[in-house]
Structure 1
């Protein structure tokens, strides 16, 4: 066997080991069955990045980490969040060689304190929290491996007492990737929107940011070739990229080299603010779940990145079934242009989910909702992007004894789901309940709060049977009469990966 063949075998063996990121298949020879049924195995490593939470000195931020218990993971592993600056000086596995990690497992360190993680998980099945204050909190980079990797979920929740964007801001820390879509951003005078880019890797990332308004692409000055240094976060103020002032803008982040995490922070002078998470990949049909029943104003923003216009049917999955919003039966989205329509007080006291489907031919679209609650000067804003279905399992964290609402939608077929409330971060016993969601409806389900709850808890939703389900959690915290709230969707956590069984076939390596 020559050296080339040995090198190929080595490369194939290494690829097969990375079960969390790739599945190896080999061609079948005629009359043989070398590739057998794929096995579902837990991922072995998960990376997440959290953007810098706020520029306000009044900001109070909570980080919450949780991993649902998963069979087949073994007994080893860890999950930590550290500041990006710490990561740049860390050794293998994220340990800082200059100081010992310190503190017992599950105990949060101060943001930026040398050697200590912002939080470190103790065991799957129970949340862990950490805190930060003020405007100097940095972006965070996290890694979970072993038993902590499958379904690892981290949320950053910030309360801002006053000023632009005041209210409650929440965002799920995201996996680094190479492309993101954000319909619903703005460059208007009363909005201060940042796109936060966080690079978790050892080499610089090069990123392009494109902005699309009602008439197409906006002319930008410095949106191309933005360098994000290794282990760092970079907030980019959208209004510095273009001179055009528009209320409804779609942001496209594409990475030329490397990878980043990306989120948009949208701060309004009068309507509070929140994080706008990346929308689901462009698709012909989209679901935007969990519009609160007391929403006073709902705006739909959509964009099609291709060269064909899209015509969409607009439906609302309500508790009683699918209905058509009066006067907004369809939406026409011109190619390369951002379209927006104000649906007003469309909820009328009932929760719901917006469902977009093609009127005729299917054209890929991205979409998000801007939702406003409250009255007059006491209004607050949140965003709901189109999202993937719950799939096998999805989790949302930082749920509290009061102010937590879980909405579950089955827009196409009836479905059964299981909802599990974890133990609390400071104590309590997990509880589960199963629900049936009728076709075409959205239900605000009665959450099974853990008995003896102390602290916050996680909610894990699992598909049991039936059609695809979509879910979102609303967290409401009012301060001084202002109804602060934030909404997070629950896409599949991708904690399991299909790994086909394969027989060794050296014939494919022969020259």
Structure 2
């Protein structure tokens, strides 16, 4: 959302790109010949931020780093994850919010010393307990284009028990989280992580069924340099609501943001930021055995939105009986309970305007299991795969890749990388028919040892949306987590520029 453009008066084009923040060269508009079509160039630097995984002593966290092989990238590079409190090189104290000195990056302190060796092969690390801190990652050179880090935590018991997963995110200045809660059974935290040398200042706004929730505590929250800060939502207001939309805006600096939603009865998971407000949205990869699906939507503009609700099934687009539309009042969080909408088949939710186009944000809360053996995950509206998207930490069992083409048929190439401990990459191409969702048969790497990454590339046709589910049953509880696969922004458009000495004569 932050975009900075540098105009070159004369000379060569310069490129410096960071995931979520790009500095580009552009031609001078001085009457010279128009610039040639912009070329796609690999980014040279990527920053990713991982929130502190858990406050439970029963938590076991796995980190997986992966960079897909990108054509046109040569030379050397590096990628590294470090504890947030240890990032400062400009005189910061290196202390956490409790005043304790930051711990060195090591397995003993709960901080992974994760350093990938080469693109195309995942690197893994582990941490245990409640001491694992937020992490700040930087990739440069050959490791930067498409770099992804998956953080997966298994909590054996207690509040939020089950499987919790999140893709470490790029820093930005605005985030929307429909689907949060301050209900009595829920413990939701907004995690803010600051990668920069100066403090960031952020505001957190809450919107419920009656509109904005009164709170002054959420204004002007300071996140120290190179630090992570979890904010408990229930401390921002006395109003207890089942469904909230959280809006994070940054006054100065930039942060990474994610919501950790923990339920006393229904497990928990990470709620990633939803895609930017748009009139039409896709929420891909609802599990076929989901017993409860809840849509939470919000429109930030001054107009109400009327949405047509459809399910992209393996057979095509269908309208859920009794839930054909959703009216979203401006500034109010709206909810639609869809029950077991998938009925044993793969599915994705497709939202489109019934008449006029009004930007909306949305997310799904999905529940699997029966009785007191239930678990929760979230699916935010997401961007299309585009050129390429990647997700890490897949295993030979328990991984489901869901692909949907809501408007037109598409061809997609899926590559399973080499394993983190051995194995050869495998590739398969699929055709997804218009209006359908498919849970595809993943091409598991031959001789697989460890975990692998999945890279999805658009070959032809209409836009494709994707998500990946990890599932692991423990003591009868169907633990699972879902991550969407938006475009990895591994390349950036760089216009060509020519010298124009005429500007020096004016």
Query: Scaled by the length of structure 1, what TM-score is found?
Result: 0.92
Task: Look up the match of 1:17.
Answer: 15
Matches within 5 A, 1:32-47: 32-47=32-47
1:223 is the counterpart of 2:221: no
1:384 is the counterpart of 2:406: no
Task: Look up the match of 1:72.
Answer: 72
Q: Give the SS at the match of 1:311.
A: strand
CA contact (8 A) 2:61 2:151 kept: yes
CA contact (8 A) 2:8 2:25 kept: no
Task: Look up the match of 1:296.
Answer: 291
CA contact (8 A) 1:170 1:488 kept: yes
Label 1:77 to 1:321 Cα distance change in 2 as closer, same or farther (>3 A).
same
CA–CA distance in 2 between the matches of 1:213 and 1:373? 25
CA contact (8 A) 2:59 2:155 kept: yes
Task: Look up the match of 1:5.
Answer: none
Matches within 5 A, 1:120-199: 120-199=115-194
Q: CA RMSD in A?
A: 1.9
1:81 is the counterpart of 2:78: no
CA contact (8 A) 2:13 2:497 kept: no
Structure 1 residue 509, shift from structure 2 partner:
5.5
1:252 is the counterpart of 2:247: yes
Label 1:67 to 1:12 Cα distance change in 2 as closer, same or farther (>3 A).
farther
CA contact (8 A) 1:15 1:22 kept: no
Matches within 5 A, 1:87-106: 87-89=87-89
Structure 1 residue 26, shift from structure 2 partner:
2.2
Task: Look up the match of 2:277.
Answer: 282
Structure 1 residue 112, shift from structure 2 partner:
4.8
CA contact (8 A) 1:109 1:130 kept: no
Matches within 5 A, 1:104-123: 109-110=106-107, 112=109, 118-123=113-118
1:469 is the counterpart of 2:464: yes
Match of 1:438 among 404, 420, 433: 433
CA–CA distance in 2 between the matches of 1:19 and 1:278? 22
Matches within 5 A, 1:53-64: 53-64=53-64
CA contact (8 A) 2:15 2:24 kept: no
Cα deviations by residue, 1:274-314 (Å, 9 ceiling, x for unpaired): 00000000000000000000000000000000010000000
Unaligned stretches of 5+ residues in structure 2: 1-5, 92-103
Structure 1 residue 74, shift from structure 2 partner:
1.3
Structure 1 residue 508, shift from structure 2 partner:
3.8
Cα deviations by residue, 1:351-378 (Å, 9 ceiling, x for unpaired): 1000000000000000000000000010
- Number of aligned residue pairs: give it: 486
Cα deviations by residue, 1:173-205 (Å, 9 ceiling, x for unpaired): 000000000000000010000000000100000
CA contact (8 A) 1:34 1:503 kept: no
Label 1:441 to 1:87 Cα distance change in 2 as closer, same or farther (>3 A).
same
Task: Look up the match of 1:97.
Answer: none
CA–CA distance in 1 between the matches of 2:476 and 2:464? 34
Unaligned stretches of 5+ residues in structure 1: 1-7, 92-101, 103-107
CA–CA distance in 2 between the matches of 1:210 and 1:508? 47
CA–CA distance in 1 between the matches of 2:90 and 2:369? 45
Matches within 5 A, 1:486-505: 486-505=481-500
CA contact (8 A) 1:419 1:462 kept: yes
CA contact (8 A) 2:180 2:188 kept: yes
Cα deviations by residue, 1:255-289 (Å, 9 ceiling, x for unpaired): 00000000000000000000000000000000000
Query: Scaled by the length of structure 2, what TM-score is found?
Result: 0.93
Structure 1 residue 24, shift from structure 2 partner:
2.2
CA–CA distance in 2 between the matches of 1:19 and 1:382? 33
Structure 1 residue 110, shift from structure 2 partner:
1.9
CA–CA distance in 2 between the matches of 1:161 and 1:112? 20
